[in-house]
Structure 1
Amino acid sequence: MKSEMELRGFSPQTVRHYLCHLRLLEKHFAKPAPSISPHELKKYLHHRVQSGISYSNINISCNAFKLFFNKVLQLNWSDDVIVRPKRLKKFPCVLSRDEILSIIDQVHYLKHKAILLTTYSSGLRISETLNLKVSEN
């Protein structure tokens, strides 16, 4: 597995992560990874999703398993075996009017209050606020 990743030019950090995910799989089933069945792999991925592991962590697991089972062992398991979960869409947290007013009231320096009010009232991102220029028009 390690030599396959090095041939493909994977970064040392990616190699380390992929090998770690394979070790976790082996530890979970207490047997070597090549002897794990497609059903067991699906069961393991489901267990990881149910554990509340982040989407990006599970995605790395899926990439590691695809490389190992499909390229190294040449088992050519389909995407039905190594199932990549959908990323959950989270709605942004919206502050109430009272919360906004309490934040603004905490700022006492006039310049900072003007920056904060301009950013909030215009709906600017931080980077957009930082790029604002005073111009003579």
Structure 2
Amino acid sequence: MDIQDLLQRFAECLKIQRYSPSSIKNYQSNLVLFFNYISKQFSCIEEIEISHIENYIFWKINNGKCSGTHQKMILVSISKFYDFVLGIKINLNHLYPKRSEIKQPNFLTLKEVKQLIEVTENLKHKCLIMFLYSTGIRLCEVINLKTTDIDLKNRTIFIRQVKDKKERKVMLSENLVVYLMQYYLRYKPVNYVFEGQNKSQFSGRSVQQIVKQSAIKSGLKKTVSPFILRHSFAVHLIESGIDICCIQELLGHNFLKSTESYTLVTKAAKSPIKSPLDTL
């Protein structure tokens, strides 16, 4: 069986395990890069040893092509492939990064978010940006949102979380309702809230381009994406005094530690500590 057949078998195993299409794609792409590297040395997958996986990880790190998070994803992809397809359990624990990377999330200020929304003239595009910011939902969640998930009466949105099959509710902004009603009247979505041509599901790539183009038009120098709007939603809620456990629930985080990263930003911004320069 050649590599393509093995990758296809791997995808089938992941589908049976109910992994999402995006996760399957990520696992496969990591394996393709790994096999491309290994194929220069071996013609048979059975010849690959742990030391060769170690060399690959070292090569990725040494060439600056591998963050700690990416390193973990590569190792998970390889481990699952060996387990699901070859029926071999390999121990790669020694290759996982031991030090956690603590990164402060990028975000927009309230003024910048307002600027982004105001320069977006297309009604569908404006609603998309307002949706992403006002709810903090993920890109995959907004494109999977159905018209039946919107409860105008109770001002709530039902999120069918794609990432790990959980469900939650988030608030529906009063300001968003105004634009949403106009959007419904003009575009008349049938199944999904945001639809492309022929009433098909809107693509994630299109959403990313919409946000990017609006950011360019607004003159913002920051990199802006749907994920940055989600970050901004969380940071602004923390700044307004909302309990972090409530924010965790709204974001759909499994662990509070994931939500706590946003407090790093607000603590730095609101710190009462003055620079020693100010005392001179």
Q: Which has the higher contact order (CA 8 A, sep 6+)?
A: 1
Greater strand proportion = 2
- Normalised by the size of structure 2, how large is the TM-score? 0.31
Q: Specify the alignment match of 1:55 in structure 2.
A: 68
Which amino acid in 1 is paired with 2:237?
S
Q: TM-score normalized by structure 1?
A: 0.60
Aligned to 1:106: none
Partner of 2:79, secondary structure, is helix
Summarize the Cα distance change of 1:24–1:90 in structure 2 as closer, same or farther, 3 Å threshold. Answer: same
Counterpart among 9, 18, 23 of residue 14 in structure 1: 23
Aligned-residue sequence identity (percent) comes to 15
Q: Which residue of 2 aligns with 1:79?
A: 92
Query: Which of 1 and 2 has greater Rg?
Result: 1
* RMSD value, Cα: 2.6
SS at match of 2:95: coil
| Structure 1, gaps ≥5 residues long | 93-124, 133-137
In the TM superposition, 1:29-44 aligns within 5 A as: 29-30=38-39, 31=42, 34-35=45-46, 36-44=48-56
How many residues in Structure 1 have an aligned counterpart in Structure 2?
A: 99
User: Secondary structure at 2:26's aligned position in 1?
Assistant: helix
Measure, in 1, the Cα distance between the counterparts of 2:91 and 2:32. 22
Letter in 1 for 2:35: E
Q: CA deviation at 1:58?
A: 1.2
Mapping 1:1-137, distance limit 5 Å: 1-30=10-39, 31=42, 34-35=45-46, 36-52=48-64, 53-79=66-92, 83-89=95-101, 126-131=236-241
Secondary structure, in 3 states, of the residue corresponding to 1:21? helix
Q: Runs of 5+ in structure 2 lacking a partner?
A: 1-9, 105-234, 243-280
Separation of aligned partners in 1, 2:103 and 2:36:
36
